[in-house]
Amino acid sequence: MPTVTRRTQLFLEWALFFVALPVGIAVVLPPAMMFPALFTLTGVGLVLLYLTKGFRWGSLWQGMGRISWPLIGGVALGTFVISYVVLALWHPERLFQLLGEGAPRTATGWPIIWIIALFYPLVSALPQELVFRPLFFRRYGALFPRWGLWVNAAVFSLAHLMYWSWVVAAMTFVGGLLFAWSYERRGNFPEAVLAHSVAGVVLFAVGMGTYFYSGNVVRPF
């Protein structure tokens, strides 16, 4: 366990990185600047991960041969059903509209889903998983010995505050809990990345870009 001084330092570092900065990005920055800020934050997170004592990059490959394909299929199906129900209830006109009405005209047709499927895992899912799973658990996990999975899911949801949507908050909390369980309990980072990637692509394919596309963000103030 960390010493008291080291524990305090780590907690303040955790609070700044996983709480204060995401809230600041959501509240202060305009939507157009949110993603550059998040990419910068991810870069800082990777540096912190590199500096984390005992962490080995090679450990990220563990579990590659143990991916649960029924789990991945369940993530795809569950994401599809939840997304379809949410849109059918509140925005039926946007079902299968990918990025929603705020997207450019060239980004509203089905061909764009192939671009999303190709780049989302590398540009979004992988960086997020590196920061929210290995960095969180290997550097700060000892701060939350009993509630680590739940705290991880909570800060993962908080990182999506910039969308200002309870739907996004709820879905990312559930997703974060699943991804954290896959990484921390099953010791399977590749599975967490794949599950996150599949969930993200299905979300956009069904039309949840209405909620998850920065061009559609409307702040409540």
Rg (CA), the chain: 17
Q: Measured between alpha carbons, how far is residue 163 from residues 150, 169, 173, 213 in Å?
A: 21, 9, 14, 8
pLDDT given for residue 220 in this prediction: 87
Convert the pLDDT of each residue in 127-136 to its tens digit: 999 999 999 9
SS3 24: helix
Residue 100 has pLDDT above 50, yes or no: yes
DSSP 101: T
Determine the Cα–Cα distance for residues 135 and 139; give it in Å rounded to an integer. Answer: 6
What's the mean pLDDT in 203-211?
Answer: 93
Instruction: Tell me the per-residue pLDDT of 49-81, one tens digit each, with 9 for 90 and over.
Output: 999 999 999 999 999 999 999 999 999 999 999
By the 8 A CB rule, do 80 and 202 touch?
yes
CB 155 within 8 A of CB 182: no
Question: In the chain, what percentage of residues exceed pLDDT 70?
Answer: 92
Residue 36: which residues within 8 A CB-CB, separation 6 or more?
none
Q: What is the length of the chain?
A: 221
pLDDT band (50, 70, 90) for residue 106: very low
Pull the structure tokens for residue 37. Answer: 């800020």
Mean residue pLDDT of the chain comes to 91
Name 57's Cβ contacts closer than 8 Å, sequence gap at least 6.
none
Angle at 141 (CA atoms; ends 13, 153), nearest 5 degrees: 90
